[in-house]
Amino acid sequence: MPIYEGIGIINEKYPVVLEIGRYLTKAGFAGESSPRCVIPSKIKTKDAAGSRRLSDFKDSADLYQMLVEFLHHLYCKYLLVTPKDRKVVVVESLFATTIWRQTLAKVLYLHYEVLTVLWIPSPIASVSSTNQDTALIVDFGSEEVQIIPVFKGVTILCGVVCHELGADTFDKELKSILMDNCLNNSNKEELDRCLTPAKVEDIRVRCCVVTSSSRAAQIQRPEDITLTKFKPFLYELDGQNFLQFHGIAREKPSEVWFKNDDRDGISIPLMILQVLSICPVDTRKPLAANILITGGTGMLPGLRGRLLKELKTLTANSADTLMNDPVLQERFANGNYEFKMYDPPVKPNCMAWLGGTLYGATEALGLRGINKEFFLKHGLIPDWCDLQFDMVNANGSPVISRG
Amino acid sequence: MAHVQQLEGAKYICCCGSLKPICSIYFCRHCLRLRCPYCVSHEVDSHYCGNCSENMPSAEAKQKKNRCGTCYDCPSCRQTLTIRATTIQIPSEADPAKLAVQKLYYLACGFCRWTSRDAGLPDSPSTSGTWQEPESPFSKEIVHMHDYLRVLALREKNSKEKKFVHKSKYLAAGRHGLAHLLPKRYPISTPDEMYKPIPPPEYVAPTKGDDEFQELSDKFFEEEINVPKVTSLEQRLHQLETQPHETSALLPTHKQLLIKRSLRCRVCERNISKPEYSPVSVKFKIQLNAFYHVVQVRMAAPLSQPLNPGGTATILLKLSNPTQFPTSIKFLPFAFVPLSKDDLSSQMGALDVKVDPARESSTDVSLPSNISSPSTSITIIASPSHGGRSALPSESSSSSQMMKEVHVLPIRNEKFVNNCRLVVVPEAEVVLPPKDETSDFVDDYADTPDFNDDPKLVPWRKANKATVCLDIVRDQNSNPEEEPVLGITIEYDYVNTIVALENKSSPGPQKVRLQTHVLISLNTGYIQ
pLDDT of residue B495: 87
Task: Specify whether B267 is located in the same domain as B315.
Answer: no
A135 contact residues in B (CB cutoff 8 A): none
Domain's final residue, options B194, B219, B241 = B194
pLDDT of residue A112: 92
pLDDT of residue B507: 66
Query: pLDDT tens across A225-276, in order?
Result: 776 778 889 998 888 888 999 888 998 899 889 876 655 668 898 889 889 9
Residues in chain B, how many?
528
Task: Specify whether B498 is located in the same domain as B368.
Answer: yes
Domain presence at residue B180: yes
A377 burial type by CB count under 10 A (0-12 exposed, 13-18 middle, 19+ buried): middle
Task: Specify whether B153 is located in the same domain as B283.
Answer: no
A231 contact residues in B (CB cutoff 8 A): 221-225
Mean pLDDT (whole number) for A273-299? 91
B211 touches chain A (CB under 8 A): no
Domain presence at residue B433: yes
Residue closest to B61 by CA, chosen among A114, A285, A79, A304: A79
Task: Specify whether B283 is located in the same domain as B351.
Answer: no
Task: Specify whether B376 is located in the same domain as B500.
Answer: yes
Contact A359 B149 (CB under 8 A): yes
Distance CA A367, CA B156 (A): 9
Distance CA A264, CA B217 (A): 30
Query: pLDDT tens across A120-138, in order?
Result: 999 999 998 888 889 999 9
B227 contact residues in A (CB cutoff 8 A): 206-207, 233-236
Cβ-nearest to A2 among B58, B241, B256: B58
- The hierarchical CATH code for the domain A132-164+264-343 is 3.30.420.40
Q: Is the pLDDT of residue A4 over 50?
A: no
Structurally, chain B folds into a number of domains equal to: 3
Query: pLDDT tens across A145-156, in order?
Result: 999 999 998 999
Distance CA A73, CA B78 (A): 19
Distance CA B149, CA A125 (A): 12
Task: Specify whether B505 is located in the same domain as B455.
Answer: yes
Residue type, A300: L
A212 touches chain B (CB under 8 A): yes
Residue closest to B159 by CA, chosen among B147, B148, B143, B171: B171
Domain presence at residue B368: yes
Q: Is the pLDDT of residue B51 over 60?
A: yes
Residue B232: which H helix or E strand, with range?
A: none
Task: Specify whether B166 is located in the same domain as B268.
Answer: no
Residue B152: which domain range? 139-194
A24-29 and A37-40 beta bridge pairing: antiparallel
A312 contact residues in B (CB cutoff 8 A): 210
**pLDDT grade for B367, boundaries at 50, 70 and 90:** very low
Instruction: Give the closest-approach CA distance of B517 to chain A in angstroms.
Output: 23
Chain A, window 69-108: residues with a beta carbon less than 8 angstroms from a chain B beta carbon: 72, 75-76, 78-84, 106
Q: Is residue A118 within 8 Å of A109, Cβ to Cβ?
A: no
Distance CA A116, CA B212 (A): 43
Task: Specify whether B334 is located in the same domain as B354.
Answer: yes
Domain presence at residue B434: yes
Distance CA A256, CA A269 (A): 12
A341 touches chain B (CB under 8 A): yes
Q: Coil, strand, or helix at residue A53?
A: strand
Task: Specify whether B414 is located in the same domain as B500.
Answer: yes
pLDDT of residue A220: 80
**pLDDT grade for B216, boundaries at 50, 70 and 90:** confident
Domain presence at residue B310: yes
pLDDT of residue A322: 58
pLDDT of residue A16: 94
Residue partners of B321: CB distance under 8 A and separation at least 6: B295, B327, B432, B433, B434, B435, B464, B465
- Reported ipTM: the value is 0.88
Contact A153 B59 (CB under 8 A): no
Q: Is the pLDDT of residue B390 over 90?
A: no
Which range (A79-83, A183-187, A323-327) has the least confidence? A323-327
Query: To which CATH superfamily is domain A2-127+349-399 assigned?
Result: ATPase, nucleotide binding domain (3.30.420.40)
pLDDT of residue B256: 93
Query: pLDDT tens across A17-60, in order?
Result: 999 999 999 999 998 889 999 999 999 988 888 899 999 999 99
B359 contact residues in A (CB cutoff 8 A): 61
Mean pLDDT (whole number) for B201-213? 85
Contact B259 A80 (CB under 8 A): yes
The alpha helices in B461-520, defined as continuous H runs, are 498-502
Task: Specify whether B476 is located in the same domain as B409.
Answer: yes
pLDDT of residue B509: 74
Task: Specify whether B336 is located in the same domain as B280.
Answer: no
Task: Specify whether B337 is located in the same domain as B432.
Answer: yes
Of B415 and B198, which is predicted with more confidence?
A: B415
B142 contact residues in A (CB cutoff 8 A): 33, 345-346, 354
